[in-house]
Structure 1
Amino acid sequence: MSNLLLPSATLESKQPIYAVENDCLISKNADVTVAYRLDLPEIFTLSEADYESLHSAFVKAVRLLPNHTVVHKQDWFVEDKYVANFEVERSMLSQAYERHFNERPFLNHYCYLFLTKTPTSRENWTSLATLLTRSKIVPKDMMDEKLLAAFFNAVGQFVRTLAAVGIKCTQLTDDDLAGAEGKTGLLEKYLYLNMSDTAPVADLDFSQGLKVGSKRCTCYSLGQLDDLPEILETSTRHGNLSTDYSNFFIGFASPLGLQLNCNHIYNQYLFVDDAAKTLKDFEKKRDRLNSLSLNSRQNAINKDFYDWYLNEAHSQQRLPVRAHANILAWTEQEMHEKELRELTGDAITKMGGKARENTVDIGTLFWAGIPGNAGDFPSEETFYTFAGPACCLWNVETNYRSSSSPVGIKLSDRLTGKPVHVDISEEPRKRGIITNRNKFVLGGSGSGKSFFTNGLVRQFHEQGGHVLLVDTGNSYKGLCQLRGGVYYTYEEAKPISFNPFYVVGAPDVEKRLSLHNLLVTLWKRQNEALSQSEYVSISTALTQYYQALKNDPTIKASFNTFYEFLQGPFDAYLKGEKVRDHDFDMQNFLYVLRPYYRGGEYDYLLNAEQELDLVGESFIVFEIDNIKDHPILFPVVTLVIMDTFLQKMRMLKGVRKMILIEEAWKAIATPAMADYLKYLFKTVRKFQGEAVVVTQEVKDILDNPIVKDTIITQSDCMILLSLEKFMGKFDEIQEVLALSEKQKALVLSINADRRPDEFYNEVYIGLGTKVATVYGVVVSKEEYVTYTTEETEKMVLFQKLDAGLDIETAIQVYAQELRDAG
């Protein structure tokens, strides 16, 4: 064979494609091929039922094809590296992230489907008849137009059937197949085993196996019944990701796909012959073996096989087909050839098959794999089966995909840690996967909840969103300082202080209502009623106060000046209106509010000297750990928090906004605040906002009706970290969170099979009822020291700040120290 291919002119004459036109490949044997690029589901996201559904769709699609059609599915898995983009201006942390992942290796996956119509005479084509070995090519007439029209109609139905189960099929154009100026086409990419758009020309050497340029190739095939696993299934249990409480499934052919970590092409062939003719031939063979069965036990066994096959075909209406699958793997290092063979053979063994290396016929199999040349495949390399078992050998998974959305968060895939951009708010809502952007975050102590949410809010803020955080534990102090935010906390030497009366411009109805509620909270006890006349009097006081500020710009808005306004102008107004004490007791009102006025016990609380426009501030943290049990301070602070975010909702048109409530939600979720939370979670979506609640106590979600009935039911995005500590209670958690068996398996697989050379946690993200994925939370050292909630590590960072370093420099210095320490 090799002496035929030495001159390059001979290779040109032997190449099998006659023309590429009308987005079709036409071979020199008159075969017509339509080619598609397939977008498969992401690996580690499917349930056993999902695999069954995909398999059923494949079988249904194959049954639509006319006789003498070849289905050639070709999956490329090519070693690649993540290429960081340093040209775009980014924040210090984003730049650090790009540097950390630059050139991280991963397997890139490309999936192609070639549907080929062949003449009837091609059914028993052998390796001796291929274009590679024939010295003279005799072109055949094209098939008649009616047959061709029927084929194209069947192809359309095939594609629609796959689309119905979520597999997008994009037809390849002439330029995609044959190339264009400055861009290599798929035909050349295959012949050079190079997926680059500018793939360099490579020599083909068949003298000793197969060499493509410097690439040394090996090929293993499943081309005989003896090579196949004993049982062909649609999916198989993943041992490392399954638990005693759950079964985690992957595709049956997954060991030959992304889990085979080397450069390789996985070819899957299915030949739809004339079924009636095939069964008739089998009847004849069965009869012949029956007559010879007394002479040989093997004849009797073979006769029984034909009986079974014919019975299945007739009784179950199964479609007889021929099938073949092979792996073409390559390496550019001679020393790695043995390792490559072992790796490839082991992958077939893991699937339950028998690893059979193709040596003499590797050139024939490579040639038949040329896009559009599946009709040239030798029949002796195929085995008879039914469409169902044949489709079990198909690879049905691909890499994690990044969203094209400009907003979202950076996470990592589970296999290699490759960065993945994930939009869990805007794109899913536009696609109808979720109806609101709210999020519920649950994870055990130490699972990395606050670490994850630091990354979530940082990227949300970098992308132009406003963030308001309610925290207990200083988890966001470093990030707040880095983002130039406002940090509210209570300390004896520096107590928490606000100025809710400061407003840019005139207060709107919402703001006046918020101040009204604040004053009522300061005046009345929780169970004390407010009369209509009292309600009107407070509203009138606020209206006249802001009118007075407008008339005299020298007066600064604060509780102090409001209190003085009550004592003077407003008291005179009430007397002029002859308002009686039992309608509105001004003296009682002033007496109860006196502690918040100048010189009172809490005069600092509502009279902050710094006039901050909290609506305009884009990053605000309320750290309420020290006051969450305080009967006076806490109710006031929570009202200020709610007022601030509600004002953002109403006033910031076209701006994304987020309120994130950490463990503080337990303190906020009081009967008095329940209505606020319900209103917030139900209304925030209308104002391009999202509410996020974070908790670690499983008992809280099981026992608290506000969480169960409001927060969970109004949160279409479920974010779960490791719940391993609560495995025994998981049935209850599953019921409350309404998790399916598929989602349960994903949640319980968190951290079960992490890469041993890298420290990180994993996170489950569920969107509505349809989308659920587990990602790795992998970050740079700079991000790590910014997000860490370990007390000793936080102390190191803040000691550097106390020493005079600015926050960015302190983070970078500490990160370098960690890298140097290994």
Structure 2
Amino acid sequence: MRNISKMTTLESRFPLLAVEDDFVISKEADITACFKVSLPEVFTVSSAEYESIHATWHKAVVTLPDYCIVHKQDWFIKENYLPELDKEQQSFLSRSYERHFNERPFLNHYCYLFLTQSSKDRMRKQSNFSSLCKGALIPKEKMSGETAYRFKEAVAQFERIINDSGLISMKRMSEAELVGTEKRQGLFSQYLSLSVDTTGVLDDLYLGAEEMRIGNKRLCLHTLSDTDDLPGKVGAESRYEKLSTDRSDCLLSFAAPAGLLLSCDHIYNQYLFIDNSEENLRKFERTAKNMHSLGRYSRSNQINREWIERYLNEAHSYGLPSIRAHFNVMAWTDAAAELKQIKNDTGSALALMECKPRHNTSDAATLFWAGIPGNAGDFPSEESFYTFIEPALCFFTEETNYQNSPSPFGIKMSDRLTGKPIHLDISDMPMKKGIITNRNKFVLGPSGSGKSFFTNHMVRQYYEQGTHVLLVDTGNSYQGLCELIKNKTNGKDGVYVTYTEDNPISFNPFYTDDGIFDIEKRESIKTLILTLWKRDDEPPTRSEEVALSNAVNLYIESLKKDSGHRPCFDAFYEFVKNDYSKILEEKKVREKDFDLSNFLNVLEPYYKGGEYDYLLNSDKQLDLLSKRFIVFEIDAISGHRILFPVVTIIIMEVFINKMRRLKGIRKMILIEEAWKAIAKEGMAEYIKYLFKTVRKFFGEAIIVTQEVDDIINSPIVKESIINNSDCKILLDQRKYMNKFDDIQAMLGLTDKEKSQILSINQNNDPSRLYKEVWIGLGGNHSAVYATEVSTEEYLAFTTEESEKHELMQRASQLDGNIEEAIRRIAAEKKGLE
């Protein structure tokens, strides 16, 4: 029986011949250079930057010779997040985080650019001359060597202009990336199967008049191929209303609705056809004359003549080259029932660009065929419209989705569009690139904005990557996380220091695990004793400073001689009272130079039997140098005039000891609202020292505050913290919108950064529980991310008193196993959901 079905093989119709020197050669003798393009992340581009990107494309396109085709192809593919569950020694919270995002769908973006050198004859062909309709593919016009050489030079220049812009970049695709290898399919196979799977197989292509299918995928194609379908006005950017306010504009590229905002599998094709401009204009001159002569028969002829005249006037007045352009959105789905919805979504996306969406069925197969990388010369000319380069470039998409940092160190945040986890480095990589000069961070967010969740989320990940973390808190924000670490390490780590009447805070400032008293240790002891001895408004004299320094140094020397002696404050007090008093008598030190009796009298409350004898005589011999997670909860003593200054000095001494002694190990000190009390108590010099010095010791200092007035009114914040914090982190500022101009001036924020900050939490997805946070690095890089955590992390981080009480009560019933308590409560909550 004779086969009468209209079938043919892909091999016989395939329009490409070979890939030579990374150029694609078609069977019609077209030459194509293929590139991968990197675009800036969505919501991170300002108006001036959009204009700069637009100008860069324009400068690059005008370098191309006649009969070139610029084909930009943006793929937007639905993918699912694959959790990283195979890492060794992954913590309970890290594993729960990855499981929370398991199979989270997101739209991935791949951007390609194809520059094709075609011929005059090829660029005028219509759809009935497509290679799909030909029996044999033989070029009628041979490309000369000179033409090929000029094209290669133009491609190199095009690439250099784009890469020099600093905003977008392009990289040449190799033969393996185009054709594929035995283990991985190339771009040609991916396009013909509409799949980015590494080991995909080619499906049958059904090219019908009413429907087009590739395997099970049903396609719909919407085109912009007529000037009647275009908006009256275009620009490099457009205002995204959902994230804009009356005080700020959130900007996207003009074509963004056909890009990331269209949440289905689709390809957005953008074509520019560089014809011979003079020839085009001569043709329009002839057409205008014909229209003029026929104007008496039809008013439409008169109107068309006027439009042509305006086009010619623009071209001649400003020296604009005449080109042709075409744009189409090719969307698909596996489910036939979803095809109608996808058609509506695509049409709506084009309508948001103020275009008239035209669903193309008759030329769908031809346009799909012309979209094969390197086959733009097969494009049917009747599907294009005449325009100029600048307005045509407005239809280019200019942003991509959030990208992972290549750095091995970092934290996980979420893409604000889809919620996909993003690996973000806000410390090391920016330092290496020179974006920031220190790792310090300043965090600002009002109550309820999610500060504690973000800081818990950040320090947990820093700790799990080997960082020594010291936290100074005033609200039990880190109690759950600290208890979890303590439970997991069997008490070897996770030190939670707080004040209660039954168990008051106690230290031993004279204790070192290795018996070494370096200059930093000595200075911290002197500062501590000086704080106990003198009031803030009573500075010591020079002779008193010298006497105190000698007393400390001599006591430390005596420790070296008597190794069995336990160093503590009581022993120091007795040393001064007995041994040092004799030394002073021998030196004949006068009472007015150093009043020993007054010194001993003032310090007597800290000596045994005194009111605060517990404070500096701890017998626990706790080695905080080796503890990697320490929380000082000082809310109960933040207003105490005696205890608070002593405790803050001890805290600073602990961190400075870590900073100096732990070589090559990352350290972090995070001070919550306690910094205000520290500054009031005369401890400002410590914070200034920290913020200026910590970067030299592979460390970072973080200050967290919630009151705007704290920034505006505090000189220590202005001079030390802000100026020495290259990473600024802000949470929801809508509460301060009316006074945000002051915050902007104080923090030195740009208008782009202001717009990003004021867009926080403006358009959150109600199906997900998260708060957004803005992270700015050195005034150069900034973006808004989502802090979304698993149920288990939520329970560990929560600051809600009732939830914390329930967790601790459940843990006590399980012999203190807080991890098991979190597991059980999380399982109950998920069951309720």
TM-score between both structures, scaled by the size of structure 2:
0.96
Q: Retained in 2: the 8 A contact 1:37–1:172?
A: yes
User: Residue type matched to 1:178 in 2?
Assistant: V
Q: Retained in 2: the 8 A contact 1:54–1:165?
A: no
1:59 is paired with a residue of what secondary structure? helix
Aligned partners of 2:96, 2:719: CA distance in 1, in Å? 41
User: Residue type matched to 1:756 in 2?
Assistant: P
Aligned partners of 1:556, 1:312: CA distance in 2, in Å? 91
Q: Which moves more between the two structures, 797-806 or 183-192? A: 797-806
Q: How far off its partner does 1:139 sit?
A: 3.5
Counterpart of 2:176 in structure 1 is: 175
Report whether the alignment pairs 1:254 with 2:264: no
Counterpart of 2:495 in structure 1 is: 486
Aligned pair count reads 819
Q: Retained in 1: the 8 A contact 2:123–2:379?
A: no
Structural mapping, 1:380-395, within 5 Å: 380-395=382-397
Q: Which moves more between the two structures, 380-389 or 676-685? A: 676-685
Q: How far off its partner does 1:246 sit?
A: 1.3
User: Residue type matched to 1:133 in 2?
Assistant: C
Q: Retained in 2: the 8 A contact 1:53–1:165?
A: no
Q: How far off its partner does 1:102 sit?
A: 0.7
Aligned partners of 1:167, 1:405: CA distance in 2, in Å? 20
1:446-476 per-residue CA deviation (whole Å, 9 max, x = no partner) reads 1111111111111111111111111111111
Counterpart of 1:808 in structure 2 is: 819
Counterpart of 1:187 in structure 2 is: 188
Counterpart of 2:380 in structure 1 is: 378
Structural mapping, 1:780-799, within 5 Å: 780-799=790-809
Q: After the TM superposition, list the runs of 4 or more consecutive aligned residues in structure 1 that deviate by more than 4 angstroms.
A: 3-8
Aligned partners of 2:542, 2:786: CA distance in 1, in Å? 56
Aligned partners of 1:270, 1:653: CA distance in 2, in Å? 57
Q: Retained in 1: the 8 A contact 2:536–2:682?
A: yes
Q: Retained in 2: the 8 A contact 1:523–1:589?
A: yes
User: Residue type matched to 2:731 in 1?
Assistant: L
Q: How far off its partner does 1:771 sit?
A: 1.2
Aligned partners of 1:248, 1:85: CA distance in 2, in Å? 33
1:509-553 per-residue CA deviation (whole Å, 9 max, x = no partner) reads 111011111111111122223233322322222222223222323
1:255-283 per-residue CA deviation (whole Å, 9 max, x = no partner) reads 11111111111111011111111111111
Structural mapping, 1:43-192, within 5 Å: 43-89=42-88, 90-139=90-139, 143-163=143-163, 164-192=165-193
1:369-421 per-residue CA deviation (whole Å, 9 max, x = no partner) reads 00000011010000000111111111111110011112221111111100011
Quick one: structure 1 residues 539 and 377, their matched pair in 2 at CA, closer, same or farther if it must change by over 3 Å?
A: same
The partner residue of 1:552 within 534, 548, 562 is 562
Q: How far off its partner does 1:7 sit?
A: 4.3
1:611 is paired with a residue of what secondary structure? coil
Structural mapping, 1:278-427, within 5 Å: 278-427=280-429
Counterpart of 1:599 in structure 2 is: 609
Aligned partners of 2:474, 2:694: CA distance in 1, in Å? 23
1:268-315 per-residue CA deviation (whole Å, 9 max, x = no partner) reads 101111111111111111122122222211111111111111111121
Report whether the alignment pairs 1:473 with 2:475: yes
2:683 is paired with a residue of what secondary structure? helix
Aligned partners of 2:141, 2:391: CA distance in 1, in Å? 34
Q: How far off its partner does 1:216 sit?
A: 0.9
User: Residue type matched to 2:109 in 1?
Assistant: H
User: Residue type matched to 2:827 in 1?
Assistant: Q
Q: How far off its partner does 1:650 sit?
A: 1.4
1:152 is paired with a residue of what secondary structure? helix
Q: How far off its partner does 1:636 sit?
A: 0.8
Aligned partners of 2:539, 2:252: CA distance in 1, in Å? 61
Q: Retained in 1: the 8 A contact 2:532–2:646?
A: yes
Q: How far off its partner does 1:587 sit?
A: 2.5
Q: Retained in 2: the 8 A contact 1:5–1:11?
A: no
Aligned partners of 1:151, 1:558: CA distance in 2, in Å? 81
Structural mapping, 1:672-711, within 5 Å: 672-711=682-721
Aligned partners of 2:505, 2:156: CA distance in 1, in Å? 67
Aligned partners of 1:55, 1:160: CA distance in 2, in Å? 16
Q: How far off its partner does 1:6 sit?
A: 4.7
Counterpart of 2:672 in structure 1 is: 662
Structure 1 residue runs without a partner (length 5+): none
Aligned partners of 2:39, 2:555: CA distance in 1, in Å? 64
Counterpart of 1:504 in structure 2 is: 513
1:183-216 per-residue CA deviation (whole Å, 9 max, x = no partner) reads 1010011011111111112111113521111111
1:120 is paired with a residue of what secondary structure? coil
The partner residue of 1:520 within 514, 525, 530 is 530
Structural mapping, 1:514-593, within 5 Å: 514-593=524-603
Counterpart of 2:38 in structure 1 is: 39
Aligned partners of 2:585, 2:627: CA distance in 1, in Å? 41
Q: Retained in 1: the 8 A contact 2:645–2:681?
A: no
User: Residue type matched to 1:179 in 2?
Assistant: G
User: Residue type matched to 2:761 in 1?
Assistant: N
Q: Retained in 1: the 8 A contact 2:70–2:273?
A: yes
**RMSD value, Cα:** 1.6
Q: How far off its partner does 1:364 sit?
A: 0.2
Aligned partners of 2:724, 2:392: CA distance in 1, in Å? 45
1:675 is paired with a residue of what secondary structure? helix
2:802 is paired with a residue of what secondary structure? helix
1:43-83 per-residue CA deviation (whole Å, 9 max, x = no partner) reads 11112222111111111111111111100000111110000
Q: Which moves more between the two structures, 611-620 or 188-197? A: 611-620
The partner residue of 1:456 within 439, 455, 458 is 458
Q: Which moves more between the two structures, 810-819 or 356-365? A: 810-819
Q: How far off its partner does 1:489 sit?
A: 1.1
User: Residue type matched to 1:102 in 2?
Assistant: N
2:116 is paired with a residue of what secondary structure? strand
Q: Retained in 2: the 8 A contact 1:17–1:27?
A: yes
Report whether the alignment pairs 1:495 with 2:504: yes
Counterpart of 2:491 in structure 1 is: none
Q: Retained in 1: the 8 A contact 2:81–2:420?
A: yes
Aligned partners of 1:275, 1:204: CA distance in 2, in Å? 37
1:135 is paired with a residue of what secondary structure? coil
1:690 is paired with a residue of what secondary structure? strand
User: Residue type matched to 2:548 in 1?
Assistant: I
Counterpart of 1:821 in structure 2 is: 832
Aligned partners of 1:182, 1:148: CA distance in 2, in Å? 33
1:321 is paired with a residue of what secondary structure? strand
Q: Which moves more between the two structures, 134-143 or 157-166? A: 134-143
1:780-815 per-residue CA deviation (whole Å, 9 max, x = no partner) reads 001101111111111111112222241211222222
Aligned partners of 1:565, 1:140: CA distance in 2, in Å? 105
Aligned partners of 1:161, 1:807: CA distance in 2, in Å? 58
Q: Retained in 2: the 8 A contact 1:28–1:140?
A: no
Aligned partners of 1:815, 1:4: CA distance in 2, in Å? 63
Q: Retained in 2: the 8 A contact 1:209–1:363?
A: no
Q: Which moves more between the two structures, 100-109 or 685-694? A: 685-694
Aligned partners of 1:771, 1:374: CA distance in 2, in Å? 37
Aligned partners of 1:509, 1:359: CA distance in 2, in Å? 81
Aligned partners of 1:605, 1:386: CA distance in 2, in Å? 79
2:754 is paired with a residue of what secondary structure? helix
2:635 is paired with a residue of what secondary structure? coil
Counterpart of 1:769 in structure 2 is: 779
2:827 is paired with a residue of what secondary structure? helix
